[in-house]
Amino acid sequence: MTKATIYGLIFGMCGNALGIADAAYVIKLKNGNEYVTTRYWHERGQVLFDTYDGVFGIEKAFVTKIEKTNQVVRLANIAKHRAR
């Protein structure tokens, strides 16, 4: 392996350890609100997606567009929330 490959692997592992996700989607609603998530799916007339505290669902009728984005999504640290 080259040094560049090794540095790339180390950087990638550090990003995962910090809770930074590399793929993100913006769910845009008719009322102007937007949600950024790493994963979404369709089920029973709703768009469901991962959020910091679990899964959130919105009726498909309220969604105008879902598009891939370069925005960074930071995942919540569960241990930090439970310590409160």
Domain boundaries, the chain: 20-74
Distances from the Cα of 32 to the Cαs of 7, 18, 82, in angstroms? 41, 30, 32
Entry pTM: 0.60
The pLDDT tens digits of the residues spanning 20-70 come to 455 799 999 999 999 999 999 999 999 999 987 799 999 999 999 999 988
Place of tokens 């809770």: 19
- 5-29 residue pLDDT tens: 554 445 554 444 444 455 799 999 9
Which of 13, 26, 21 has the alpha carbon at shortest distance from 58? 26
What topology is assigned to 20-74 in CATH? Answer: SH3 type barrels. (2.30.30)
